[in-house]
Amino acid sequence: MSEIIFPAIIGLAISLCLLRMLKGPTAPDRAVAVDSIATITTALLVLLGSIFERYIYLDVALVYAVLTFIGSVAIARFLEKGI
């Protein structure tokens, strides 16, 4: 049962963040929405790893989270100072 409910909740959360990304009035709102989508996707990878009992997904989620953090810092610096 939880294999159906949790991915549905994560899908709803991603769609709400996608809506905020498209309708965000400012660039920082859009950046936060993209960062939220990346965080939720990381949680989805961990959930898939536990559902399918394939622990390689946990490693992929960890690498994805690190790359997302680096990208978020780069976007924040760009929005603060410009190029």
In the prediction, which pLDDT does 83 show?
66
Segments making up each domain of the chain, as ranges = 2-81
In the prediction, which pLDDT does 39 show?
94
User: Exposure of 20 by Cβ count < 10 A (0-12 exposed, 13-18 middle, 19+ buried)?
Assistant: middle
In the prediction, which pLDDT does 24 show?
85
In the prediction, which pLDDT does 58 show?
92
Nearest to 32, CA basis, from 71, 62, 61, 60: 71
Predicted TM-score of the model (pTM): 0.85
Q: What are the per-10-residue average pLDDT scores of the chain (83 residues)?
A: 84 94 90 94 90 90 94 91 74
